[in-house]
Amino acid sequence: MRRLIDGCAAFAIAVAIWQGIVWFTGVPAFILPGPARVAQSLADNAGLILDHAGITILEVMVGLVIGALLGGATALHLVISPRARRVFLPVMVFSQAVPVFALAPILTLWLGYGIWSKIVMTILIIYFPVASTFFDGLNRTDRGLLDLGRTMNATPLQLLLQIRLPAALPSFASGLRLAAVYAPIGAVIGEWVGSSNGLGYLMLLANGRAKTDLMFASLFVLAFFTVLLYGAISIVAARVTAWATGESVPRE
């Protein structure tokens, strides 16, 4: 509750500063519309914005699920197989030197204007953060626990399932939180490059027609959705990995 109040206060301050800038500079509305104008546009175009938001949300969610599964599976594979580590890890790191945004036109060329070029863009953006944080987590298992497993004659599979995997869940969760913030960026970039649907398309369209208020309204909806997604993932992650947050203070 306290956090919600603080969040609303921060939002109110940001809106006040925004309104202040509009008043003091007297900037024309097609350059920077005031909050009231954007709210009005949001209300007037609610149906239109929601339609496009639906497409973007679909792309983000599908991309997030597939990207998280692929990233998680990659990390597990790298941990299990030393060979995969030798061959694949350098490739993975090198691939990050390629600016993913630059691939967007190619993806549109290959996969067309539909949602799949955006979903693949989303997957590409979140894949590496998920895979690398989870991989780090799996590698950072407490050495003492591994020693204990060894003296207990643990099977390698059980050691992975019972100790390394649960111990790495907090890292996986932080990878997913990052992914929640990055995924909408991937979808919107895909939409910018070529599409006839989605919030990215709508923003580009509104911008081109000097409907700056509509652009801001779309942007606001996108940001709102991203915050919701981040919040939802954080809450689920906190539930699952409550043991790692030190919620219950050790009693002496």
Partner 1 sequence: MNDAEQHNETGQGEWCATITLSGRFAHEHVTLFDDLTFTIAQGQWTCLLGPSGVGKTTLLRLIADLPTGGQFSGTITTSNACSLEGRIAYMAQSDLLAPWLSVRDNVLIGARLRDQTLDTQRANHLIEQVGLTEHVTKRPSELSGGMRQRVALARTLMEDRPIALLDEPFSALDARTRAEMQELTFELLRGHTVLLVTHDPGEAVRLGHTITVMTEAGLQEFIPPSAPPVRAHDNADAMQAQVELMNVLRSPEASCVA
Interacting residues toward partner 1 by CB under 8 A: 142, 144-145, 147-155, 158-159, 162-163, 166-167, 169, 241, 243-244, 246-252
Q: Which is nearer to partner 1, 226 or 241 (CB)?
A: 241
Q: Smallest distance, Å, CB 148 to partner 1?
A: 5
Q: Which is nearer to partner 1, 140 or 209 (CB)?
A: 140
Q: Smallest distance, Å, CB 172 to partner 1?
A: 13
Please answer whether residues 181 and 228 qualify as being in contact, where contact means their C-beta atoms are separated by less than 8 angstroms: no
Cite the beta strand spans of 120-222 per DSSP E.
none
Q: Smallest distance, Å, CB 142 to partner 1?
A: 7
Residue 129 exposed, middle or buried by CB count within 10 Å (0-12, 13-18, 19+) = buried
Q: Smallest distance, Å, CB 170 to partner 1?
A: 10
Residue 117 exposed, middle or buried by CB count within 10 Å (0-12, 13-18, 19+) = buried
Please answer whether residues 214 and 41 qualify as being in contact, where contact means their C-beta atoms are separated by less than 8 angstroms: yes
Q: Which is nearer to partner 1, 6 or 142 (CB)?
A: 142
Q: Which is nearer to partner 1, 65 or 161 (CB)?
A: 161
Q: Which is nearer to partner 1, 99 or 248 (CB)?
A: 248
Q: Which is nearer to partner 1, 81 or 155 (CB)?
A: 155
Q: Which is nearer to partner 1, 67 or 137 (CB)?
A: 137
- For the chain, how long is the longest CA-to-CA vector? 74
Q: Smallest distance, Å, CB 236 to partner 1?
A: 16
Q: How far apart are CA 164 and CA 186, in angstroms?
A: 31
Please answer whether residues 233 and 60 qualify as being in contact, where contact means their C-beta atoms are separated by less than 8 angstroms: no
Q: Smallest distance, Å, CB 230 to partner 1?
A: 24
The angle that helices 165-193 and 115-139 make with each other, rounded to 10 degrees, is 160
Q: Smallest distance, Å, CB 232 to partner 1?
A: 22
Instruction: Name every residue whose Cβ is closer than 8 Å to that of residue 179 and which is 6 or more positions away in sequence.
Output: 64, 67, 68, 71, 126, 129, 130
Q: How far apart are CA 194 and CA 200, in angstroms?
A: 10
